[in-house]
Amino acid sequence: MLSVKGLRANVGDKEILRGLDFEVGPGEVHAIMGPNGSGKSTFAHVLSGREGYEVTAGSVTFEGKDLLALEPEERAQLGLFLAFQYPVELPGVNNTYFLKAALNSIRKARGEEELDAVSFLRLIKERLKILHLDDSLLKRAVNAGFSGGEKKRNEIFQMALLEPKLAILDETDSGLDIDALRVVADGVNALRSAERSMIVVTHYQRLLDYIQPDHVHVLSKGRIIRSGGKELALELEEKGYGWIDAEGQAA
């Protein structure tokens, strides 16, 4: 479903990703772990098409298409979803309106009919429950004045609504207390299915206690230096990133 080969990317003059190889199959949950500055967020941003990154080599195919050639909205319409580490506040932009515009643009691209107001409202109310979100949220502006936990929950709520094929969760756990983390993780788990893949980007193992990955990868200096099962995450937690780095250097 997603195939990344030899991906190299720069921010300004600095090379952040240095030949990254990565494969995700349908229904798989991959965790990408790594110390700060290893390129985790850059990878998530490059996949979703954020500006400010220059891909210098390599390829990314998603559902058989050259992902890097697509605009951000085309990627989303194809079924890619990024849950932001720092969700953006959009003062004055009504949440319901925003969600409806997003959902219908994706449905349209898939050749599905746009939802009318009634079925749309029914759908979002149903999805709100998954995240234990209050429907007053719908009247508010997107993320404006939300607490940190609310913002992250809102991201997962959007994911529930837009039903992506591949979701990238960029440090969704950062800044969350344990209760909020549990709510978010429950939401994510409820959305797991055989057709939906996920990439969980995180610094800490604790998120993986709640979202069990099929594969764990360790990113260091822009490359995946180790891959394994979920036991790799535990090992990392125990020994710290220094262990991996030292090993990486030895290798």
Partner 1 sequence: MNGDMPTGFASWLAHERSCDAGIDWLDARRRNAAERVREQGVPSSRDEGWRYTNLKGLLEQGFLQPDEPITALQPDDLEEVLVPGLASHRVILVNGRFVPELSLLEDLPPGVRVSGLASLLASDPDVLKDRLNAVAGDDLALFAALNTAGLDDGVVALVDRGVLLERPIELIHVSVGLDEPRVAQPRNVIVLGAGAQAIVIERYLSLGDSLYCTNCVTEVSLGRDAVLKHDRIQTESPSAFHISGLYLRQDANSRYLGVNLGLGARWARTDLNATFGGEHAECDLQGLYLAGDGQLMDYHLDVDHSVPNCASRENFKGILYGKGRAVFDGRVFVAQDAQKTDAAMSNRNLMLSESAEVDTKPQLEINADDVKCSHGTTVGQIEPEMLFYLRSRGISAPLARRMLCLGFAGEIIERLSAEALRDQVSELVGQRLESAPLS
Both tokens of 50, joined, read: 């954020």
Question: Token pair of 7, please?
Answer: 């991906």
3-state SS of 205-216 is CHHHHHCCCCEE
Return the number of the residue (22 or 81) whose C-beta is nearest partner 1: 81
**Residue in the structure block whose two tokens are 């099962």:** 229
| Residue 66 within binding range of partner 1, rule CB under 8 A | no
Q: Which one of 61, 96, 105, 227 is in contact with partner 1 (CB under 8 A)?
A: 105
* Only segment of 67-75, 129-137, 200-208, 231-239 that touches partner 1 (CB under 8 A): 67-75
Q: Round to whole Å and give the CA distance between 236 and 218.
A: 9
Q: Is 139 in the site for partner 1 (CB under 8 A)?
A: no
Backbone φ/ψ region at 46: left (φ over 0), alpha (ψ -120 to 50), beta = alpha
3-state secondary structure of 80: strand
180 belongs to the binding site for partner 1 (CB under 8 A): no
Which residue number, 40 or 75, has a Cβ lying nearer to partner 1?
75
Cβ atoms < 10 Å from Cβ of 93: 14
Task: Return the range that interacts with partner 1 (CB under 8 A); candidates 75-83, 210-218, 228-236, 241-249.
Answer: 75-83
User: In which element (H, E) is residue 118 found?
Assistant: helix 117-130
Does 69 contact partner 1 by CB under 8 A? no
Tokens representing residue 77 in the block: 């319409």
The DSSP bridge partners found for residue 197 are 166
- Determine if 196 is a binding residue for partner 1 (CB under 8 A): no
Stretch that binds partner 1, among 77-85, 119-127, 179-187, 202-210 (CB under 8 A): 77-85
Judged by CB under 8 A, the stretch of 59-67, 76-84, 196-204, 219-227 that binds partner 1 is 76-84
> Nearest-CA neighbor of 237 among 210, 208, 213?
208
- The residue behind tokens 């610094």 is 203
Q: Could you tell me the two tokens for 191? A: 């959305």
- Number of residues in contact with partner 1, rule: CB under 8 A? 30
- Distance of closest approach, residue 101 Cβ to partner 1, in angstroms: 5
Least spacing, CB of residue 174 vs partner 1, in Å: 17
- Residue 193 Cβ, how far from partner 1 at the closest point, in Å? 20
Q: Footprint of partner 1 on this chain (CB under 8 A)?
A: 48-51, 71-73, 75-77, 81-82, 84, 87-88, 90-94, 97-98, 101-102, 105-106, 109, 141, 158, 162
